[in-house]
Structure 1
Amino acid sequence: MALTRDFKQTVLARVQADPAFRDALLEEAIDAMLAGDVDTGKSILRDYIKATVGFEQLGADTGSSPKSLIRMFGPNGNPQARNLFAVISQLQRHAGLTLHVRAQPQ
């Protein structure tokens, strides 16, 4: 089911107005990827990038073309680990966060 533009605009407004929500969205994207749901993680990251740093600035910061980044996080994108981690690293810097992975019993 495709998300409506209204929902995406709501997320954008919330990310810009609520730093805790913004940080939780980045964390959720990474958690989804680590859990094996790469498509959901990419989708959340795409929305996060649009609402925060933007693809133009992220491209400049990572040395990648913005179009390449947009494709990478699109539905058919298949980011290489090197590119994905460069983006995550830059997003952490931009947000002033450091994300950590912790093992939890299932």
Structure 2
Amino acid sequence: MPLTHTFRMTVQDRAARDPAFRQAMLKEGVDALLAGDVPAGKAILRDYINAAVGFGPLAEATNIPAKSLMRMLGPRGNPRADNLFQIIRQLQTHEGIRLGVGEEASAG
């Protein structure tokens, strides 16, 4: 289901004023990718980029054209691993954070 313009504006407004919210969006997008939910991960990263960075500045930082970035993270996009990791690296740098992978305790 597509998000409404009002909801997108609410997310962008919150991201503009709340660094913890931006960082949580970025973490949630990467977590979704790592959990194998690629469509959700790409959608969250796309929303994060729109709210926090913009595709133009990200294109300059990654040397990947903005239209290519938008396609990669679109619903039918299929980014190569090297491009995806380059994007994530730049987004972490933008936020001033470093995400890591940890083990979850298994139940049972």
Answer whether TM exceeds 0.5 for this pair. yes
Secondary structure of the residue aligned to 1:32 is: helix
Tell me which residue corresponds to 2:53: 53
Partners of 1:3 and 1:62 in 2: CA distance: 27
Partners of 1:3 and 1:55 in 2: CA distance: 19
Tell me which residue corresponds to 1:31: 31
After TM superposition, list the pairs within 5 Å mapping 1:82-93 onto structure 2.
82-93=82-93
Tell me which residue corresponds to 1:74: 74
- Per the TM alignment, residue 105 of structure 1 is displaced from its structure 2 partner at its CA by 2.2
CA RMSD of aligned residues (A): 0.7
Secondary structure of the residue aligned to 1:52 is: helix
Partners of 2:100 and 2:61 in 1: CA distance: 22
- Per the TM alignment, residue 3 of structure 1 is displaced from its structure 2 partner at its CA by 1.3
Tell me which residue corresponds to 2:12: 12
Tell me which residue corresponds to 2:62: 62
Between 1 and 2, higher relative CO (CA 8 Å, sep ≥ 6) is seen in 2
Partners of 1:24 and 1:51 in 2: CA distance: 13
Partners of 2:105 and 2:4 in 1: CA distance: 37
- Per the TM alignment, residue 40 of structure 1 is displaced from its structure 2 partner at its CA by 0.4
When normalised by structure 2's length, the TM-score is: 0.95
Tell me which residue corresponds to 1:103: 103
After superposition, what is the alpha-carbon deviation per residue over 1:51-85, rounded to whole angstroms, capped at 9, x for unaligned? 11111111111010000001011111000000000
Partners of 2:7 and 2:44 in 1: CA distance: 13
Percent of counterpart pairs with the same letter?
55
Where does structure 1 lack aligned partners over 5 or more consecutive residues? none
When normalised by structure 1's length, the TM-score is: 0.97
